[in-house]
């Protein structure tokens, strides 16, 4: 009898813990993902920037914003780079330190490395972004940009 009761209690506890683990924690981070619309010539040079447009961006306490760039044709070569900024502002960027051209790269920003950028998105003033060549001798062609926003 004792062993049966013990088995029932252990099974009940295991089921209860499994059900509890399946429920997201209150305040668990949520993500919003979207493909940004490219506007204009996707071939970026020192004199030709690229505009990106987001659909409506949800408001909330933004923790991190990640952007995945995909390049086609003219890839990001050694020493070439780009910056991404909300329209009318400065923004972060990255460059290719490798001797091999890269066809995709993800850049993530947060309050530690780009607080003004995060604040612009949180305030809703960043549904349009500008991609610029950096240094100005860089040339590359963007095929797509995916944005993932993580909220607290």
Per-residue pLDDT tens digits for 63-106: 999 999 999 999 999 999 999 998 888 899 999 999 999 999 99
**Residue 139 confidence (pLDDT):** 98
Q: What is d(CA 53, CA 129) in angstroms, rounded to the nearest whole number? A: 6
Contact 145, 103 (CB under 8 A): no
d(CA 146, CA 61): 20
CA dihedral 76, 80, 86, 89 (to 10 degrees): -170
**Average pLDDT of the residues in 21-44:** 80
Nearest to 82 by CA among 93, 90, 72: 93
Res 4: pLDDT = 53
Domain coordinates in residue numbering, the chain:
28-151
CA within 13 Å, CB half, 64: 10
Residue (of 113, 144, 147) closest to 127 by Cα position: 147
Cα(47)–Cα(126) distance, rounded to whole angstroms? 22
Q: Is the pLDDT of residue 16 over 60?
A: no
Question: What's the whole-model pTM score?
Answer: 0.80
Write down the pLDDT at residue 86: 87
The strand pairing partners of 130, in sequence order, are 51, 85
pLDDT in tens, 117-148: 999 888 876 789 999 999 999 999 999 999 99
pLDDT score at 123: 80
CA–CA gap between residue 74 and residue 138 (Å, rounded): 10
Q: Token pair 């050694």 is at which residue?
A: 78
Q: Percent of the chain scored above 90 by pLDDT? A: 67
What homologous superfamily does CATH list for 28-151?
Answer: Galactose-binding domain-like (2.60.120.260)
What confidence score (pLDDT) does residue 56 get?
A: 84
Mean pLDDT score, 112-117: 93
């Amino acid at each position: 009898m004792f062993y049966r009761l013990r088995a029932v209690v252990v099974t009940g506890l295991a089921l209860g813990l499994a059900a509890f683990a399946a429920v997201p924690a209150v305040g668990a981070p949520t993500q919003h993902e979207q493909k940004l619309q490219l506007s204009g010539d996707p071939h970026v040079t020192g004199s030709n920037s690229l505009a990106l447009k987001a659909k409506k961006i949800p408001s909330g306490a933004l923790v991190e914003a990640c952007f995945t760039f995909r390049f086609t044709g003219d890839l990001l070569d050694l020493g070439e780079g780009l910056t991404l900024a909300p329209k009318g502002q400065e923004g972060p960027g990255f460059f290719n330190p490798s001797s091999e051209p890269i066809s995709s790269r993800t850049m993530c920003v947060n309050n530690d490395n780009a607080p003004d950028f995060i604040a612009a998105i949180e305030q809703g003033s960043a549904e349009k972004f500008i991609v610029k060549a950096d240094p100005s001798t860089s040339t590359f062609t963007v095929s797509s940009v995916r944005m993932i926003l993580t909220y607290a």
